Structures are given as structure tokens and as C-alpha cells.
Structure 1
Amino acid sequence: MKNYLVIGGSSAVGTELIQKLLDSGATVYSSYHSRSIPIDSDRLVKFALDVTRDEIPDGLLPETLNGFAYLPGSIQLKPFKRIGLDVFKEDFELQVLGAIRCLQSSLKSLTSADDGSVLFYSTVAVQRGFDFHSVVSTSKGALEGLTKALSAELAPKIRVNCIAPSLTRSALSESFLNSDKKMEYQSNSHPLKRIGEPTDIAELSHFLLSERSSWMTGQILHLDGGRSTLD
């Protein structure tokens, strides 16, 4: 039986991913913070975790982990001249240092699997560059760099990849989608004329965590409705 660790499982994508992993017969260990995970299963171990300050509890993880996904994130859109240094630090703590902290705690179990897979999440804004995205682009750009570095260092036992989506329906994106006019605008900004759905991201995540992607590492995958490459 496969074992997976999903950090941030109460997010929209996290919940979808957990369900896909459970449906495949795996056991899932998943953290949550402000919202509980709306799934119950005897193969789902849920635990509270503030990734900005907490360590994963000792003895919680199994001896072997086949996959690790780090989902915590934020969207803070402000003009650069109005952003205090503390905002950059807080975002970096959540999106980058939290990922490092959790992965370091899990590395022994991942190494024991021989086929471990690590998955981070970035944003299309790193590739394209958008107004007011300096905070999130800084943090996610660092995660993309970490993906490349770790994929080299941890091979061949552990693969490391990163998904860089465009706007996806979630609690974080609600303010950008809470009217018909906003939804139409955001949909039309993508060549495929729709925003992402949590299942879009979870489907690729499930693939990357599984042995089906066993010859893929060090990749930044742009799952963004064509926004990163097409006008």
C-alpha cells in the first residue's frame, strides 16, 4: 500500500487530491490549518499544522512515504511601492520555508520508498509577469528554483516537480470570481476560455505523485489554459 503526505489538505485542490489518492487505495496523511478536511476514511490521518511555526509531530509519519505535496499558499496583490518588507517575509515563510521545513521532516520516509515523489505548486505569474504580483511571484519563483535544485540532489531515489497553474477556483480566488462580470473577464484571459477547476490540478498532481510519471523530474508544468504561452 502506498503512503502519501499532503500538506494543506483542506484546500480545494488538496481535498480533490486526497480523494483521488484514497480512491487509488493509498493511505494519506494530511495537515490542515484554519479549515478542517471534509473527508473521512480509515486510510486518512488528519492533523493540525501551522507550517509557519510547527514541526510535523514526531512519530506521526510512516516509515515509508511514496509522495509529498505542499499546497499552502496565498495571493496578495498590491503595488510594489506599498508593500512592506514584512509582507514579503510572511509570504516567504508560508510558501517557501514552510515547504522546506515539512519536506526536511519527511525526507527520511521518502528516501525509504525508492520511488518517492515531491510536488510543489507555483503560479503562471512567475513565467508571464503580471502587475501587482511581486509578493507571490517572489515566493513561487523561489519554489521553482528549489524544485530544480532538489530534483538534481535527490535523484534517482526521489523525483521533484512543480505545477504552475493559472487562476483556479478556490477560497483564495473567490474575490476574483464573485460576479458574472469578473468570471467572464478571468475566463476570457485564457485561450481555453475558462478558469481552472480544482480537479484539473488534482488530476495532474495525482499523476506526478504516482509511478506513471517515473521518468519525470525537475519539471515546472504550466497547467494554465494556455495562458503562459499563448496570447
Structure 2
Amino acid sequence: MTLFSGKTILIIGASSGIGHALALHLQEQGATLITAGRRQPEGVQSQHFTWDVSQPAGDTFATLPDTLHGLVYCPGTINLKPFQRLQPDDYQTDLQINVLGAVDAIKAAFTALKKPKNASVVLFSTVAAKVGMGLHSSVSVAKSAVEGLAKSLASEFAPYQIRVNALAPSLTDTPLAVNLLEGERRDAANKRHPLGRVGQPEDIAAMAAFLLSDQATWITGQVIGVDGGMGTLK
């Protein structure tokens, strides 16, 4: 029997990057997948809900199954600008995509997550919520809110045996970060990390899968850095 046999996992944002790597990993491990996003993920067998997370979910998830063993909310933003160039709309967009979309998804899935008595919710922050980085004020505001949400919900959901944790990656080689990893920028980005390289989607997906698994049933309310050492080492 594989690790996720008999488990149904909802992944929002599984069409690329970390979410796609996670979906492929869970599929190999026997999970039944439900996905949500603007398009059906390639190579992933799933019940798919079409949803642009920049918009409220509305009744998108009206036909979710009765039982969910896990929910992963992967969408994120990289909106790097000097503070003086950022407009209120930038902050609102980052909050919608990173935080309010997660709130919508968790609300829709809450009843189904209560049923198995060992469900897991995984959210995504960033190392920039811990380490001050110039040009990151908008995304840092949004991802700091994700961390607060994760800790608050971990406390509120504990009586239902629903675990809630957040991962805080550093720069990861995904389509979202492609402009930050062109040419000489990649070498510079690698050197900024104590382990000498930027992250790969599979690095982050592996930790997300662990948090979803029965191997992590005593872990909740945590913000876990998967960042090549950037968050804690010099």
C-alpha cells in the first residue's frame, strides 16, 4: 500500500511549480486528487474546479466530496517594487491571491476536513516574512498574514484534529520566478543561499507531502523554512 492510498487531497494551484510537483508526487503515492485553478494540471488525474484565485470563489466548491484528508493552497505572487512605487492595488492583489483565496478555499473545505479526524492544511509563506528584504513589502505583508492565519486556524481547528502549517520557501525555480533567475541572476541567487543553490519545486513539495502524511500527525501551528538556510544562516 502506498503512503496516500485512500486519501483525498485538494490542491489549489497544481498546474505549475510547487503545486504541480506536489500533485505528481501524491498521485504516485496513491492519493485521490482534487485540483482547482485556471486550468487542469498536465499529467495529473483529478477532479478539477476552474477558479481564478484573484476572484472570490463563490460557489466554485459546491460539489466537493464529503471527506477531505488534506488541503494545500499554493498560489503566490512575486511583486518586487520599491515601496514608493507600490500602490494600494498592489497590496490588495497580493492579499487576495495569497490570503483571501486561502480563506475561501478553507471555508469551502472545512466540513469535509472535519470528517477524517486527521486532516492537514498546508499554506505557503516566504522567507521574506522572516528576513527583511528590500522591495518585498507587498508580498511580505501578504505572506505574514498567511503565517498569522495558519497559527490562528491551527489553534481553532485543533479540537477537530485538523492540523494547519505553513511552509516558508526561499527563491524557488518555478515559472513565477523565471524573471529572477535569468542569466547571471541565477548565479547570484544561488550564491545568496548557504547551500549554494535556489530551491527546486520538488524540495518544497517533499515537505508539503510530509505534512499531509500520517507521519506528521503531531505537527501543527508551525511555519517551517525550506529555504536552503537563508532564513537562519549567514
* Same fold? TM cut 0.5: yes
> Partner residue of 1:7?
12
Cα distance in 2 between the residues matched to 1:178 and 1:56? 40
User: Are 2:45 and 1:50 equivalent residues in the alignment?
Assistant: no
Query: How many residues of Structure 1 are paired with residues of Structure 2 in the alignment?
Result: 227
- Counterpart for residue 3 of structure 2: none
Aligned pair partner of 1:24 in 29, 41, 44: 29
Please, which of 173, 178, 188 is the counterpart of residue 174 of structure 1? 178
Kindly state the Cα deviation for residue 53 of structure 1 after the two structures are TM-superposed.
Answer: 2.2
Deviation at 1:207, TM superposition (A): 0.4
* Structure 2 partner of 1:183: 186
Change (3 A) 1:98 1:58: closer
Between the aligned partners of 2:144 and 2:207, the Cα distance in structure 1 is 20
Give matches, 1:98-177, under 5 Å. 98-156=101-159, 157-177=161-181
Counterparts of 1:183 and 1:91 in 2: how far apart (Å)? 25
Root-mean-square deviation (CA), in Å? 1.1
Maintained 8 Å contact 2:56/2:104: no
Query: What fraction of aligned residue pairs are identical, expressed as a percent?
Result: 40
Question: Cα–Cα, structure 1 residues 116 and 131, in superposed 2: closer, same or farther, change >3 Å?
Answer: same
Secondary structure of 1:226 counterpart: coil
Distance 1:112 1:201, change over 3 A: same
TM-score normalised according to structure 2 size: 0.94
Measure how far apart 1:82 and its partner are: 1.3
Aligned partner of 2:22: which letter? L
Shift >6 Å, 4+ stretches: none
How far, CA to CA, are the matches of 2:36 and 2:61 in structure 1? Answer: 14
Superposition TM-score, scaled by structure 1 size: 0.95
